[in-house]
Amino acid sequence: MSSNQEIVARDLSVLWHPCTQMKDHEHLPLIPIRRGDGVWLEDFDGNRYIDAVSSWWVNILGHGNPRINRAVHEQLDKLEHVILAGFTHEPVVALSEQLVAMTPPGLDRVFYADNGSSGIEVALKMSFHYWQNMGHTRKQRFVTLGNSYHGETLAALAVGDVALYKSTYKPLLMDVFTAPSPDCYHRAEGESWEAYCRRQFVEMKKILAEHHEEICAVIVEPLVQCAGNMRMYHPVYLKLLREACDKYGVHLIADEIAVGFGRTGTLFACEQAGITPDFLALSKALTGGYLPLCAVLTRNEIYQAFYDDYNTMRAFLHSHSFTGNPLACAAALATLEIFETDNLIERNRELAAHMSRALERFNDHPHVAEVRQTGMIAAVEMVKDKRTREPYDWQERRGLRVYQHALKHQALLRPLGNVTYFMPPYVITPEQIDHLADVAWEGINLATKD
Ligand SMILES: *Cc1c(COP(=O)(O)O)cnc(C)c1O
């Protein structure tokens, strides 16, 4: 049987890994996984790790989930894939029916892409194209939030605002309006999340008031800017934004690729603001983290603006080879069924409360500026100076020390810069949460001791 070392040697001679400076692997171990079971990942040497980041936020029901496995196996014996133009299949129909039924009211049409970034491209193009079809040809621009992230293909990158991923490619990207983030980390001392979000909204409102005639849509990540260091905000911002978008005739695109499917405490984050966006992008957890799939939901009124005789050239001619893949749809259907039968939203409430208690002690840590949580996402932000919140120099890579410590103690805790976060599969136990908190505590102590 192979060992870690053998697989890693073969890997490093042929692969180029995502989001990685490959030279790091001269001293950082690359970890080959041979098996997954629930929250556990096991490497080729038999070491085990609790997957505290849900394998990049996708896996919500555990690895090797028997019910999803069965659904994919059964689908595999019937149909692995078929073109979705001119043809259709039962899993994609059933999934679309269910998504329409479970998402906020008014989202009645589903278009598919095969990953999150592509789904964002779909929403942006559809919004622009809608306004073109409606004769509003001056509407050609988008508004995004500071610190936002919407994926890494060029248009998705353009509407994002994380410098680490974006700045190199700036010359290639379309120009967007960027409104200040409602990220409550920056609220004044004693100021509530709600008050801060209302204050931050003023600038957004100004952009919309001044430029709405050239704006197609505003795109946001509801409640949590995950890739932007798990920064969080109050639902009131979404409510105000919905009102302003309606007032000024601008679409609202909700990117729930990371936060959809129970992550924030409700099935969808938009529910906490009581709003329906014009476009809703869902991916990641949609298939339980099994297979790539993205659903972009929109309103019938938008769909109707494309519906006409062929010769009018109003159709949305966007496509991806694996659009609506049946295996991915089968995994998604099984995932949605588990949501229902296992009462996950209810169960998550208890897990989230446990997570909150387990992380309480970090508030008093001399190098922790903030512990924040929204549902099943919790984050601990390390700083050099607790009082002024002066951050550690990014080049010191202190988060990496937490990561390395955690790997030695059965935990995959992959920080974002100096932010250690917990975004585990919903099948985690309270005891496992306690273990993660202990490991993070030791890791942060080590990472901040000099
Ligand atoms: C991950 C993510 C994306 C991009 O999805 P990919 O499948 O990685 O292309 C877009 N938006 C948000 C909010 C995400 O977290």
In this structure, the answer to whether residues 418 and 333 fall within a common structural domain is: no
Q: Is 151 left (phi over 0), alpha (psi -120 to 50) or beta?
A: left
In this structure, the answer to whether residues 390 and 304 fall within a common structural domain is: no
In this structure, the answer to whether residues 205 and 84 fall within a common structural domain is: yes
**Residue 19, in any domain of the structure:** no
Mutate which of 57, 117, 290, 377 for ligand 1 pocket (most atoms within 8 A of beta carbon)? 117
**Residue 210, in any domain of the structure:** yes
CB 52 within 8 A of CB 423: yes
CA 155–ligand 1 middle distance (angstroms): 13
pTM for the model stands at: 0.98
In this structure, the answer to whether residues 428 and 297 fall within a common structural domain is: no
CA 258–ligand 1 middle distance (angstroms): 7
User: Does position 450 have pLDDT exceeding 90, yes or no?
Assistant: no
> 3-state class of 341 per DSSP?
helix
* Cα separation, 136 vs 251, whole angstroms: 13
Residue range(s) defining the domain that contains residue 145: 69-342
In this structure, the answer to whether residues 351 and 338 fall within a common structural domain is: no
Q: Which atom of ligand 1 is nearest to the CA of 115?
A: 7
CA 308–ligand 1 middle distance (angstroms): 32
In this structure, the answer to whether residues 160 and 289 fall within a common structural domain is: yes
**Residue 248, in any domain of the structure:** yes
Structure confidence by residue, pLDDT tens digits, 104-147: 999 999 999 999 999 999 999 999 999 999 999 999 999 999 99
DSSP 287: G
**Residue 305, in any domain of the structure:** yes
In this structure, the answer to whether residues 368 and 298 fall within a common structural domain is: no
In this structure, the answer to whether residues 277 and 388 fall within a common structural domain is: no
User: Does position 1 have pLDDT exceeding 70, yes or no?
Assistant: no
Q: Which amino acid is at 254?
A: A
Provide the pLDDT confidence category of residue 190 given band limits of 50, 70 and 90: very high
**Residue 16, in any domain of the structure:** no
Q: By alpha-carbon position, which residue is closest to atom 6 of ligand 1?
A: 116
Mean predicted confidence (pLDDT) in 402-406: 98
Q: How many domains does the chain have?
A: 2
Least confident of 161-165, 260-264, 439-443: 161-165
Mean predicted confidence (pLDDT) in 433-444: 98
For residue 41, give the H/E element and its range: strand 40-43
**Ligand 1 neighbourhood includes 226 CB (under 6 angstroms):** yes
Say if residue 25 carries a ligand binding annotation. Answer: no
Structure confidence by residue, pLDDT tens digits, 264-273: 999 999 999 9
342, 377, 401 - which closes a domain: 342
**Ligand 1 neighbourhood includes 358 CB (under 6 angstroms):** no
Percent of the chain with pLDDT over 70: 100
More reliable by pLDDT, 384 or 1: 384
* Cα separation, 303 vs 346, whole angstroms: 34
In this structure, the answer to whether residues 299 and 418 fall within a common structural domain is: no
Provide the pLDDT confidence category of residue 412 given band limits of 50, 70 and 90: very high
* Cα separation, 232 vs 226, whole angstroms: 8
In this structure, the answer to whether residues 171 and 249 fall within a common structural domain is: yes
What CATH number did the domain enclosing 283 receive? 3.40.640.10
In the chain, the N- to C-terminal Cα span, in Å, equals 42
Say if residue 284 carries a ligand binding annotation. Answer: yes
**Residue 292, in any domain of the structure:** yes
What CATH number did the domain enclosing 402 receive? 3.90.1150.10
320, 342, 364 - which closes a domain: 342
Q: What's the pLDDT at 405? A: 98
Mutate which of 55, 114, 150 for ligand 1 pocket (most atoms within 8 A of beta carbon)? 150
Percent of the chain with pLDDT over 90: 99
In this structure, the answer to whether residues 79 and 156 fall within a common structural domain is: yes
Q: What's the pLDDT at 16? A: 98
- One DSSP character per residue, 176-187 reads -EEEPP--GGGP
In this structure, the answer to whether residues 338 and 351 fall within a common structural domain is: no
**Residue 289, in any domain of the structure:** yes
**Ligand 1 neighbourhood includes 122 CB (under 6 angstroms):** no
Provide the pLDDT confidence category of residue 2 given band limits of 50, 70 and 90: confident
290, 309, 342 - which closes a domain: 342
**Residue 299, in any domain of the structure:** yes
